[in-house]
Structure 1
Amino acid sequence: MEIKLAECCGNCEHHVNGQLCSVQEIVTSENQVCNAYEFRAVLHRDSDCLKCSKFQTDNCAHPKKASEGMLCTVWNPRVAS
């Protein structure tokens, strides 16, 4: 079984203050879904370059600085296949 991040309002950067969608301009719940979904990157201590899917690729925003322990705003989780 593959586990994926749910593309719902609770994980979307358009879901403001946990209740309002800034795109649809309506009150939403964390479990609703729409086509305007955009992943909300949330940084924490364990979200460093070594766990980023962009690390050591052409998509890395900071290839010369990227290293263990560094955090940035374009961090994407590394998905196990």
Structure 2
Amino acid sequence: MARFMDVHRGMQGITADELMEAHQADLAIEKEEGVHFERAWADPESGVVYCLSEAPSPEAVQRIHERAGHKADEIHAVPFSV
């Protein structure tokens, strides 16, 4: 399966609890699209949130995020890492 990093903008002031709540909403339904969200990071000052996932496609990632109520602004393939 491929890995993806997605970006959410406009989330200024997000708290750790809100990030966990959003992540849990994704986890609750991720299997329906064959997605696994590994981790999420947030910068409350800039309002940017990043999510790392394994998924069959970027569209599958977006469908889960949309259903969970936080559509991604960008989704990038991550073909390799070190």
TM over 0.5, shorter chain: no
Q: Under a length normalisation based on structure 2, what TM-score does the superposition of the two structures give?
A: 0.23
Higher helix proportion (structure 1 or 2) = 2
Q: In proportion to residue count, which structure has more strand?
A: 2
Q: How high is the TM-score relative to the length of structure 1?
A: 0.23
* Structure with bigger RCO (C-alpha 8 Å, 6+ apart): 2
